[in-house]
Amino acid sequence: MTTVKDRNFDDITHKFAKNIYGTTKGKIREAVVWQDIQSILSRYPDKQKLTILDAGGGQGQIACKLAKLGHDVTLCDISAQMLAIAKSHAESENVALHYINRAIQDLSEDSAQCYDIVLCHAVLEWVEDGKGLLIALKKLIKPNGYLSLMFYNLHGLLFRTVTLGNFGYVQTGLNKRKKKTLSPDYPRNPDEVYQWLMALDLDILQKTGVRVFHDYMLDKAKQQNRFEELLALEKQFCRQEPYLQLARYIHILAQ
């Protein structure tokens, strides 16, 4: 079994519900990514029950939505506290999930099971060996299966940092001072991620920017009181350049 030292969020689990999942930025992220996931599901015959792995699935929002559609969903996370919250969420939604408290890299070594679809959202930027994580994920995907990968975009981070005038952070190479925060440890250069996927013979079918406008708005109140208009614009421009390259996250569908 691999010894994994990647970020475990047991110490700040409560912050996710407050600072990410329950906010406008979390709602936009979920809506845009769900739109892409529906495009994967549409590639399969209607009513086909799929095996799906949500790798690093956190509190289980997407996993529960997929289970509600009748799919067989497994949620894997290194954080026991995240899994406990996910289980509570699934129970409140009256759906059944399978739970694995293990690092993704270890799962690929220990499990003989492969899945029709593997989701890995907002994990790559917390893992030191990003390419190694993608190698592990590929082992878990059935032939002709799909990967839904979302990662924190280095270009978006740099753009936001400069527009805020935080030149000291730029001069440090965007290396954060405090390790136990919600700011990712390893923001990813999209071109590097694309190269890793291609080297693994994973064909990139679609690229989507997640939060191409929201985080750059000066009037934060309008994130709330003009949310529906903002969400419509996020969905309209999320796959168009130059907006895609400056998104806070990038979501990739690969096969």
**Tens digits of residue pLDDT in 6-60:** 655 544 445 555 555 579 999 999 999 999 999 999 999 988 999 999 999 988 9
List phi, psi (to 5°) of 246.
Answer: -105, 5
- Determine the residue type at 173: G
- For residues 96-134, b (16+ Cβ closer than 10 Å) or e, as one string? ebebbebbbbbbbeebeebbbbbbbbbbbbbbeebbbbb
Among 6-15, 178-187, 226-235, 240-249, where is mean pLDDT lowest?
6-15
Q: How far apart are CA 188 and CA 181, in angstroms?
A: 17
User: Taking the model in full, what pTM does it have?
Assistant: 0.90
Q: Which residue blocks in 72-200 are alpha helix, DSSP H? A: 80-93, 104-110, 130-139, 154-163, 167-171, 190-199
The pLDDT value recorded for residue 168 is: 87
Please indicate whether residue 58 or residue 254 has the higher confidence score (pLDDT): 254
| Backbone angle region of 184, left / alpha / beta, with phi > 0 → left and psi within -120 to 50 → alpha | beta
The pLDDT value recorded for residue 172 is: 85
Other Cβ atoms within 10 Å of 11 Cβ, number: 11
Q: Please check whether residue 82 is in contact with residue 13, taking contact to mean a CB–CB distance below 8 angstroms.
A: yes
Mean of all residue pLDDT scores within the chain: 89
The pLDDT value recorded for residue 148 is: 98
Ranked by mean pLDDT, the top range of 11-20, 79-88, 193-202 is 193-202
